[in-house]
Structure 1
Amino acid sequence: MLDALIFDMDGTMIDSMPSHKHSWVEFARRKQLQVDIDDLMRRTTGRTGIECMRDLFDHPEMDEATAMAHVHEKEAVYREIFSPIFAEVAGFKAFFNLAHGRGLKLGVGTAGDRHNQAFAYQHLQMPIAPLTTVGGDEGLPGKPEPAIFLEAARRMGVEPARCIVFEDAPLGIEAARRAGMRAVGIASSHHPDELTGPHVLAIVPDYNALIASRFLETHHVASS
């Protein structure tokens, strides 16, 4: 009953959340905004860039062009910070390659825009590309709404119930539940207690733990 894996990107594929946090601090300083960064991260991790900017500026009706200009500025700061220290979440590429070898379809569902996606893929240098990537700049609502994950499943031609989502954030774990998908919590940026749910199959620090526990062998019967 497993055909596909869907990965969030930031904090799930790549160890980027500290750099995102740093970039929010710098962006708020430039805009002379007084912001509780920890609270902002809690409210917005998994939401789209436009949603984040409307929240940050407390301006729900901010037009898309203005919001996107802010997004591009903030994300440029993030990439500048993260580029020299870029790192995957430990074991991600090895796990991804193992899943591909078993014949599973592999997709990405992220609130990150196409520029951050390109940045991540360039640095990861993955020998196998995801079958599809659904991003936060495609007009879909961000997490905890399930739209991004559902669209990834649709593009891969897989029923939601036959997908497992890999997520590092509570809003993403909830989005998987709303999508009717099972989930794995990657506790790279949140406490494991924040990633629980009846649909959560495992909560691990990284993919090395999933490889060691033979997660794929347990949950997927490869086709002969």
Structure 2
Amino acid sequence: MPTELPYALIFDMDGVLIDNTPYQARAFQLLFRDLGLTTNARKLLARLNGMPATNILKTVFQHPVPEKDLKKYADQREFLYRALYWSKRKEVKGLSDFLQSARDAGFKIGLGTSSPPETISYIIDHLHLRRFFDVITGKEDVDKGKPHADTFSVVAQKLGVEPERCVVFEDAILGEQAAYKAQMHCICLSTFVKAEKFQAPLRVINDFTAITPQQVLDLLAQHPQTPKPSKQRAQRNYMKL
């Protein structure tokens, strides 16, 4: 277990702490129906999940949309999502036990998400998860959301841990890329995206019963170099449908 300089585990929220991406997709699909759009929300999120909702919405219009309208649409999607997910909120299997074991082992723990504070509270306070996190960073705390590195870099800075000693837990392709841009390792959850779609995670897991803090340390020892982000996955034409 960590004895000298600390290690840190940094968690995305949606699709990692909770398996909610199908509900996010359904909310987007209902919004698209209201706006007369035919975009397939599940395919959209398979590529762009992890980005702020307003940035995702920019990709589905053929013409420029004012920021105030994008914000209005994002708020509408958020309302739909909360209504759909209200009674379904539960943590990914094994999460609390894993977080407690990681704290006991000496890891610092952070949350890095593209969600605003009220959405973070909607999940982690309802599930009583806030007690596990030393640092929580959301949309309001960074200038550039995923796939930029800022979200995870800010968490690491606040935790006081060097990037190479951080492991990010992500469920999204762009979230994995953000981890590599931040010069961190990544463990991916296949809650929504198939394992083969990820670039170079230390491991792909279905839930937190499949990993232990000691196994995280073993993986870091086996893979000292962090992967370089994929230029192909960062290209705009990859993001477009």
TM-score exceeds 0.5: yes
How many residue pairs get matched? Answer: 217
Q: 2:178 aligns with which of 175, 192, 196?
A: 175
Q: Percent identity?
A: 28
Checking the alignment, whether the CA contact within 8 Å between 1:4 and 1:107 is kept in structure 2 is: yes
Shift in Å at residue 188 of structure 1? 1.1
The reply to whether residue 189 of structure 1 matches residue 171 of structure 2 is no
TM normalised by structure 1 equals 0.88
Show structure 2 runs of 5+ residues with no match: 222-241
The 1:38–1:163 alpha-carbon spacing in structure 2 relative to 1, beyond 3 Å, is: same
The reply to whether residue 22 of structure 1 matches residue 23 of structure 2 is no
Q: 2:39 aligns with which of 21, 35, 41?
A: 35
Checking the alignment, whether the CA contact within 8 Å between 1:2 and 1:219 is kept in structure 2 is: no
The reply to whether residue 78 of structure 1 matches residue 78 of structure 2 is no
Checking the alignment, whether the CA contact within 8 Å between 1:149 and 1:176 is kept in structure 2 is: yes
Q: 2:57 aligns with which of 44, 53, 57?
A: 53
Checking the alignment, whether the CA contact within 8 Å between 1:47 and 1:141 is kept in structure 2 is: no
Checking the alignment, whether the CA contact within 8 Å between 2:6 and 2:108 is kept in structure 1 is: no
Aligned-pair Cα RMSD in Å: 2.2
Q: Distance in 2 between matches of 1:49 and 1:99?
A: 31
Tell me the secondary structure at the aligned position of residue 95 of structure 1. helix
The aligned counterpart of 1:111 is 114
Which amino acid in the other structure matches residue 186 of structure 1? L
Q: Distance in 1 between matches of 2:156 and 2:217?
A: 22
Q: Distance in 2 between matches of 1:32 and 1:141?
A: 29
Shift in Å at residue 174 of structure 1? 1.2
Checking the alignment, whether the CA contact within 8 Å between 1:161 and 1:180 is kept in structure 2 is: yes
Tell me the secondary structure at the aligned position of residue 56 of structure 1. coil
TM normalised by structure 2 equals 0.82
Shift in Å at residue 214 of structure 1? 4.7
1:87-133, Cα deviation, whole Å (9 max, x unpaired) = 21111111111111112111011112222101111221127241122
Shift in Å at residue 220 of structure 1? 8.2
The 1:176–1:86 alpha-carbon spacing in structure 2 relative to 1, beyond 3 Å, is: same
Checking the alignment, whether the CA contact within 8 Å between 1:185 and 1:196 is kept in structure 2 is: no
Shift in Å at residue 171 of structure 1? 0.9
The aligned counterpart of 1:206 is 207
Q: Distance in 1 between matches of 2:177 and 2:220?
A: 23
The aligned counterpart of 1:153 is 156
Shift in Å at residue 48 of structure 1? 1.1
Which amino acid in the other structure matches residue 68 of structure 1? K
Q: 2:129 aligns with which of 115, 118, 126?
A: 126
The 1:96–1:48 alpha-carbon spacing in structure 2 relative to 1, beyond 3 Å, is: same
The 1:50–1:127 alpha-carbon spacing in structure 2 relative to 1, beyond 3 Å, is: closer
Q: Distance in 2 between matches of 1:193 and 1:140?
A: 31
The 1:112–1:58 alpha-carbon spacing in structure 2 relative to 1, beyond 3 Å, is: farther
Checking the alignment, whether the CA contact within 8 Å between 2:124 and 2:130 is kept in structure 1 is: no
Which amino acid in the other structure matches residue 218 of structure 1? D
Which amino acid in the other structure matches residue 134 of structure 2? L
Q: Distance in 1 between matches of 2:48 and 2:219?
A: 31
